[in-house]
C-alpha cells in the first residue's frame, strides 16, 4: 500500500509576518519558508506506518512554485520514498478546493491506500483540504485522531472529540488529516 502525504510549504512559524501594503496577503519575499508543522507530523505518521509494514511506499506531494524543491528534499530526507511537485506560478495562492482537486488527480494516478494531511495549515488555518478531497474522491475520512491502526483494508481511528474519545472504523482507501503533538501522539483529520 502507498501513503500519499500532502506536504505544504508555509512561512516558518518563527517568522514575524507582515501584510502586503495592498492587503492582498502576506509578504513572502525574503522570508524563511518551511514545511507546515502539521504536515511534518503527518509525514512522521506515514513513516511509522511504513516502518510497521503497513505501507510499502510514502510519497510526499506539494503544490507550490518551482522554488519549492528544497522543501521536497526535506521530505525525502525525513524518509519519504518519492516526492511529487505540482508547480504553480510564483505568487499564486492555492485555495483549499484547488488543492483538493490537484490532490485528487494525484490520487487517481498513484492509487494510495491512505492520504494523510496535517489537520490544518498554519498560514490560513482552513482545515478544509482533507475534507474536500474525501468528498471529491468519495472516500471516508477521520479527523482529530489520537491513534491510527490499519488491519487489512480497514483503518481504525481513535478520535479526540469534545466528550472524550471516539473510535471509528473506515474502509480503505481513506483520507486523514493528522494532528499530533511532538510527544508522538497522533491526531488524524480524515
- Spatial distance between the Cα atoms of 178 and 188, rounded to a whole number of angstroms: 4
- 19: in domain: no
- 152: in domain: no
Does residue 50 carry a pLDDT above 60?
A: yes
Number of domains in the chain: 1
Does residue 48 carry a pLDDT above 50?
A: yes
pTM for this entry: 0.81
Lowest-pLDDT range of 94-103, 144-153, 176-185: 176-185
| Dihedral of the alpha carbons of 44, 121, 183, 71, in degrees to the nearest 10 | 40
CATH number at residue 121: 3.40.50.620
Give residue 189's pLDDT.
Answer: 39
Please enumerate in sequence order all residues whose Cβ is within 8 A of that of 41, keeping only pairs 6 or more positions apart, or say none. 118, 178, 179, 180, 186
Give residue 180's pLDDT.
Answer: 42
Give residue 86's pLDDT.
Answer: 92
User: What average pLDDT is seen over the chain?
Assistant: 81
- 185: in domain: no
- 36: in domain: yes
- 145: in domain: no
- 17: in domain: no
pLDDT, tens digit, for every residue of 64-103? 888 888 888 999 999 999 999 999 888 777 788 888 899 9
- 179: in domain: no
Whether residue 29 contacts residue 122, with contact meaning beta carbons closer than 8 Å, is answered with no
Does residue 162 carry a pLDDT above 90?
A: no
What is the domain extent for residue 115? 2-10+29-139
Q: How confident is the model at residue 186 (pLDDT cuts 50, 70, 90)?
A: very low
- 70: in domain: yes
Amino acid at each position: 500500500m502507498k501513503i500519499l502525504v500532502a506536504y505544504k510549504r508555509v512561512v516558518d512559524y518563527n517568522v514575524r509576518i507582515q501584510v502586503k501594503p495592498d492587503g492582498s496577503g502576506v509578504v513572502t519575499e525574503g522570508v524563511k519558508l518551511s514545511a507546515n508543522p502539521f504536515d511534518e507530523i503527518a509525514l512522521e505518521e506515514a513513516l511509522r506506518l511504513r516502518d510497521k509494514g503497513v505501507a510499502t511506499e510514502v510519497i510526499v506531494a506539494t503544490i507550490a512554485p518551482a522554488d519549492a524543491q528544497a522543501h521536497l528534499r526535506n521530505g525525502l530526507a525525513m524518509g519519504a520514498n518519492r516526492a511529487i511537485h505540482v508547480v504553480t506560478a510564483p505568487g499564486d495562492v492555492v485555495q483549499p478546493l484547488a488543492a483538493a482537486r490537484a490532490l485528487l488527480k494525484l490520487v487517481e494516478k498513484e492509487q494510495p491506500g491512505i492520504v494523510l494531511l496535517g489537520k490544518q495549515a498554519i498560514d490560513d488555518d482552513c482545515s478544509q483540504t482533507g475534507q474536500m478531497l474525501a468528498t471529491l474522491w468519495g472516500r471516508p475520512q477521520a479527523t482529530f485522531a489520537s491513534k491510527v491502526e490499519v488491519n487489512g483494508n480497514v483503518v481504525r481511528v481513535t478520535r479526540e472529540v469534545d466528550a472524550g474519545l471516539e473510535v471509528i472504523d473506515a474502509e480503505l482507501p481513506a483520507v486523514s488529516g493528522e494532528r499530533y503533538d511532538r510527544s508522538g501522539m497522533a491526531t488524524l483529520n480524515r
